[in-house]
Structure 1
Amino acid sequence: MSAPEDEPLASHLSFADLDIDERVLRALADVGYETPSPIQAATIPALMAGRHVVGLAQTGTGKTAAFAVPILSRIDLDDKAQKAPQALILAPTRELALQVSEAISKYAHYLPGLHVLPIYGGQSYGVQLSGLRRGAHVVVGTPGRVIDHLEKKTLDLTRLRFLVLDEADEMLQMGFQEDVEKILSDTPADKQVALFSATMPPQIRRISKRYLTDAAEITVKTKTVTAANTRQRYLQVANAQKMDALTRILEVEQFEAMIVFVRTKQATEDLAERLRARGFSAAAINGDLVQAQRERTIAQLKSGAFDILVATDVAARGLDVERISHVLNYDIPTDTESYIHRIGRTGRAGRTGEALLFMTHRERHLLSSIERATRQPLTEMTLPSVEDVNTTRVAKFADSITASLASPQLPLFRGLIDDYAREHDVPVADVAAALAVLSQDDQSFLLAPEPPVVKRKNEFSSAADRAGDRDRDRDRDRPTVRVAGQRRAKSDVRLATYRIRVGKRHKVQPGSIVGAIANEGGLSRQDFGHIDIRIDHSLVELPADLPPRTLDALSRTRISGQLIELTREDGAERPSRVKKPRHKP
């Protein structure tokens, strides 16, 4: 079945029509979900009926709720002694695994005793082992870490009832095909499988035919996934300069209320506090807030008690406040679905909205992914200058004087100032200026001029040259493959050559090497230098000073089902592995 954009299946349905658990319905209402999206309307009934499902849809269409709601509605919470998971969701990256885990926890708010556990590379085994021992009804994990736990016999999937492959095409592109198929074949044959993918490459088609019997194939066609009345802009800015850039935008941009999105719960508190210290009315919202606090904070935002809400993705899901004119992505999301959900908080119900995005030099590839997924280009914006900020401050100062002239207390203060001026023989204008200085609380009213930019000899000046420079910058962000005679690229990070035991024989590609090592080792894609793929092994340039924790994680990393067995190749001392603690299975 399919659900094209111009004939959405959800147009005449509500979640109450889909026969889902009443407790899950209450949680969906709490996060602001009213009517199911097309993928939800088509998928939930099929999964509730026990059918396998293949869902083809772009990110941002509501896939998480599409599979989570039926699982939560059918999960067995009565068997208190059962600690083995009943549901396993596989995600390609730890960021997506965390996002899915947090979303499911929100939907399960009224299901007492239900436990959701994320397991992924880069996180301490101790936390994951403790969670598995306590028992988790739903496990959300990356394929490599799930395989690792299965081999250690710390993850028991013999009682598994539901298996979801989220972003399946992305998992295969990252080299997880053999891991995924191993997990599929090693789990109970009678499990229910849901596979979600943006595309249907031959490998996905083959997996669905082999492991999913009589699957309902659901396709949601979309033209664009972001509101047409939301203007989307981005600013390239270094991490260290983000706070200054945000301050300038807040001063110059005309907004009624704004949501500023960051990645972590701690960052919401930190950034809100820094904004308040600079004189802005800001508050934080994150997953740690109890429902009563969340409702109180949202009510204050609606009433205008403050104007800036600093939030995480999941905490802002379902939030619909008419005052929100702007959404600012302080931290660029690592997956496009998060971006789409974020900017969906503005430009709602026919209103116009503004979506701003901060992007560092090394995050250009994420911007490209967002533009591909939304099918809409983002316009580069210019950072407001010192002159722009100062002009705005002067105008606001004049406006505040005009507003104060209508105050009923004006006669009282006029008399006090006249008395002071006569007694001290000071012009009234000087007294008014002194009061203005007093109101600044020792802060400078105007920004200092920016230091002049020193041009280098080879600095590009024309628009064409600047565009070429941006292209070269974008190329530098991508890992490169060494060919015969090619020299190593320069890098700010000291790189060393490492050997991994996968090569052309294992049909690996540079993307699968980067994806697996970055995901399991907690590295960024810009940490990679040249990749030289040979017959039975590959040489990969990585930071020379990899920490023990990363080395330990990479010692268990697999690509195409093969342990990579990372070792230093450049003659330096081989990296020592961290001793693994003994755990009882």
Structure 2
Amino acid sequence: MTPDDAASPESATPDSTDVLPGFDDLGITGPVLAAIRDLGYETPSPIQRATIPTLLAGRDVVGMAQTGTGKTAAFALPILERLDVSRKTPQALVLAPTRELALQVAEAFEAYATRMKGVHLLPVYGGQGYGVQLSALRRGVHIVVGTPGRVMDHLAKGTLDLSELDYLVLDEADEMLKMGFAEDVEQILSQTPEDKQVALFSATMPPQIRRIAQQYLRDPEEISVKSKTATNANITQRYLVVSYAQKVDALTRILEVENFDGMIVFVRTKNETETLAEKLRARGYSAAAINGDIPQNLRERTVNQLKEAKLDILVATDVAARGLDVERISHVVNFDIPTDTESYVHRIGRTGRAGRTGDAISFITPRERYLLGHIEKATRQQPTQMQLPTAEDVNTTRLARFDDAITAALQDTERLDTYRDVIAHYVRNHDVPEADVAAALAIVAQGDKPLLIEAEDDALAAAVAADNRPKRERGGADRAGRDERPARRGRGDYEAYRIEVGRRHKVEPRQIVGALANEGGLGRDDFGAINIRPDFSIVELPANLDRRVLEKLRDTRISGRLIEIKPDRGPGARRAPRDGDRRPARDDRPARKPRHGRD
């Protein structure tokens, strides 16, 4: 166990070489202490040493810390330590800027609570159906982890009761501000009890966050910890731009060409670990999944199989891979790229250990390109863009392995003599050249799967090449010189949508982007022009927007107002309703006979 693994998926190495306190010395006891010991936690990180006793003492905290300092455990462990499972209303609320971070925090809570009985936790975020969330809230939950937009929706619907909230955590508060959630956060804070305990964590402390801290926190203790984010220079970092639909095929092709020993493939959710591992096994690879739901004894057995070369590929989540140090791991693949750089640093740190070299490959969808700059800044290394192995690359590798298999078989002289007699018998009785017999045996050995890929039939390479073209070549329009008129429907790859929030609602473009991105799972490349009018706004979204995504966006709220998104029908349909009238636009109403004598 190395120091950076001891605390959390993002923990920093302690600065002191003195004997450091354990988690029990900080006040963590009973089932919570047992759970973190199961996970291999030994030494608290600096922010955990400073924060856990403070939170257990009941004081508010303002933490200046990057994601990689171990702050998730710093606030999660004290909450679990004091949780009252006999109560059914939410006792703790954690607000996170993105659904990815919300899921990571929720999974960490689940891992820390594995030894506790009756703890109910609910992640609340856009893109997930309301039904699951509503039924869980009706049954009763102790901890809610969510994005501001979806939490606001539940508060507006009256389905989330925060009247008995004891603990509130604002995770990555500066990111929430950047995404336009400041007003939502303040509205949520205003609907919580005054005597709650608040922990606010932020990498930076802009004036607006400082004002929120002064207004909503009571005599907080300020804690500042710097993260050590530079990665091992022995790790070669590469990335491949690939759409989500092509990821499994792209991974399979990389596995064919890369000379790897042991590998960890990181995915975002527990369900995806099982799904991907099953797909890899179906394609002939020795793969297994580990996640927070897998019992500790099974996890240990799986890791031992990896160590003993009985298993080659481990598909894991961040939480499940904590503390994993296996000498055979030559490659790490970020099948789902993490949105926070510290999780990225932790993941790729599973390879290149103790002076060994390692390879890290990240799959990045076209709309996730912006993350590359964050990764470069955090790791102080620039990942190299790689190309998908071509059909020729794959064929060369397959032929080399085929040659190796023949060479190995030729070394087995005893069995070789037996089969020589079998082949000679066939040749004598069927008058077939030995070369043809050998080719026929190769067909039998290969089965229905062709040995070689036809370059002209390489649809995967064509699809990935399209993803790697510059944005302007993929249909993105040049936005220079636009006037104030709303964008026309069907221009380029974008289509215009109308939302019922505008300037008089004090809405800004970043709020629109943040809300729609979180609820619909959209990326920055999915947004075209945003024209904010007095009573409504016109937003350009992909012309091929999935109908299911549009359905998710219909219940989105911005600044507490339902946006009622719908395709823009042009100026004739843009007459703003008066006094909250929700009558359909003129073009949508059926024709009717004129009425006379109307006042």
TM-score bracket for this pair, using the shorter chain length: 0.7 to 0.9
Aligned residue number for residue 458 of structure 1 = none
User: Is 1:541 matched up with 2:540?
Assistant: yes
Is the 1:480–1:529 contact (alpha carbons within 8 Å) kept by the matching residues of 2?
no
Partner amino acid, structure 2, of 1:510: P
Partner amino acid, structure 1, of 2:165: L
Within 5 Å, give how 1:424-573 maps onto structure 2: 424-425=427-428, 434-450=440-456, 470=470, 472=472, 476=476, 483-484=483-484, 493=493, 495-503=495-503, 505-542=504-541, 554=553, 556-566=555-565, 569-571=568-570
The number of residues matched between the two structures is 555
Aligned residue number for residue 417 of structure 2 = 414
SS in structure 1 opposite 2:69? coil
Within 5 Å, give how 1:267-286 maps onto structure 2: 267-286=272-291
Shift of 1:164: 0.2
Distance 1:559 1:192 in 2: 27
Shift of 1:476: 4.2
Distance 1:11-1:51 versus aligned 2 partners, 3 A rule: farther
Distance 1:7 1:68 in 2: 20
Distance 1:552 1:400 in 2: 54
Distance 2:409 2:25 in 1: 55
More deviation, 391-400/126-135: 391-400
User: Is 1:180 matched up with 2:180?
Assistant: no
User: Is 1:23 matched up with 2:31?
Assistant: yes
Residues 182-215 of structure 1: CA distance to partner in whole angstroms, max 9, x if unpaired? Answer: 2223222221111111111111111112222232
Aligned residue number for residue 594 of structure 2 = none
Distance 2:99 2:377 in 1: 22
Shift of 1:482: 5.1
Measured on the aligned residues, the alpha-carbon RMSD in Å equals 3.6
Distance 1:549-1:252 versus aligned 2 partners, 3 A rule: closer
Partner amino acid, structure 2, of 1:502: G
Is the 1:346–1:352 contact (alpha carbons within 8 Å) kept by the matching residues of 2?
yes
Distance 1:65-1:432 versus aligned 2 partners, 3 A rule: same
Shift of 1:404: 4.5
Aligned residue number for residue 327 of structure 2 = 322
Is the 2:488–2:495 contact (alpha carbons within 8 Å) kept by the matching residues of 1?
no
Aligned residue number for residue 294 of structure 1 = 299
Shift of 1:329: 1.7
Distance 2:481 2:275 in 1: 40
Structure 1: which 5+ residue stretches go unaligned?
454-466, 577-585
Q: 1:64 aligns with which of 72, 89, 92?
A: 72
Distance 2:458 2:155 in 1: 59
Distance 2:100 2:482 in 1: 30
Shift of 1:327: 0.8
Q: 2:43 aligns with which of 20, 24, 35?
A: 35
Is the 2:554–2:565 contact (alpha carbons within 8 Å) kept by the matching residues of 1?
yes
User: Is 1:96 matched up with 2:101?
Assistant: yes
Partner amino acid, structure 1, of 2:288: A
Residues 442-463 of structure 1: CA distance to partner in whole angstroms, max 9, x if unpaired? Answer: 433233334699xxxxxxxxxx
Is the 2:489–2:495 contact (alpha carbons within 8 Å) kept by the matching residues of 1?
no
Within 5 Å, give how 1:55-204 maps onto structure 2: 55-77=63-85, 80=86, 82-204=87-209
Distance 1:429 1:564 in 2: 71
Distance 1:228-1:161 versus aligned 2 partners, 3 A rule: farther
TM-score, length of structure 2 as denominator length:
0.82
Structure 2: which 5+ residue stretches go unaligned?
1-10, 460-467, 574-583, 589-599
Distance 1:132 1:480 in 2: 47
Is the 1:500–1:565 contact (alpha carbons within 8 Å) kept by the matching residues of 2?
yes
More deviation, 216-225/9-18: 9-18
Distance 1:525 1:567 in 2: 20
Partner amino acid, structure 2, of 1:39: I
Distance 1:93 1:138 in 2: 17
Shift of 1:101: 1.0
Shift of 1:332: 2.8
Residues 409-441 of structure 1: CA distance to partner in whole angstroms, max 9, x if unpaired? Answer: x31442342354256347776665554443222
Distance 1:568-1:411 versus aligned 2 partners, 3 A rule: closer
Shift of 1:44: 1.8
Shift of 1:91: 1.1
Is the 1:421–1:431 contact (alpha carbons within 8 Å) kept by the matching residues of 2?
no
Is the 1:56–1:196 contact (alpha carbons within 8 Å) kept by the matching residues of 2?
yes
Shift of 1:380: 1.0
More deviation, 549-558/299-308: 549-558
| Aligned-pair identity (%) | 63
TM-score, length of structure 1 as denominator length:
0.84
Distance 1:268-1:392 versus aligned 2 partners, 3 A rule: same
User: Is 1:376 matched up with 2:381?
Assistant: yes
More deviation, 338-347/473-482: 473-482
SS in structure 2 opposite 1:145? helix
SS in structure 2 opposite 1:67? helix
Is the 1:10–1:35 contact (alpha carbons within 8 Å) kept by the matching residues of 2?
no
Aligned residue number for residue 239 of structure 2 = 234
Shift of 1:487: 6.5
SS in structure 1 opposite 2:387? coil
Distance 1:570-1:428 versus aligned 2 partners, 3 A rule: closer
Residues 57-88 of structure 1: CA distance to partner in whole angstroms, max 9, x if unpaired? Answer: 222332211111111112223xx2x2111111
Shift of 1:55: 1.4
Shift of 1:250: 1.2
Is the 1:275–1:281 contact (alpha carbons within 8 Å) kept by the matching residues of 2?
yes
Distance 1:423-1:528 versus aligned 2 partners, 3 A rule: closer
Is the 2:12–2:45 contact (alpha carbons within 8 Å) kept by the matching residues of 1?
no
Is the 2:287–2:315 contact (alpha carbons within 8 Å) kept by the matching residues of 1?
yes
Shift of 1:24: 1.6
Distance 2:373 2:92 in 1: 33
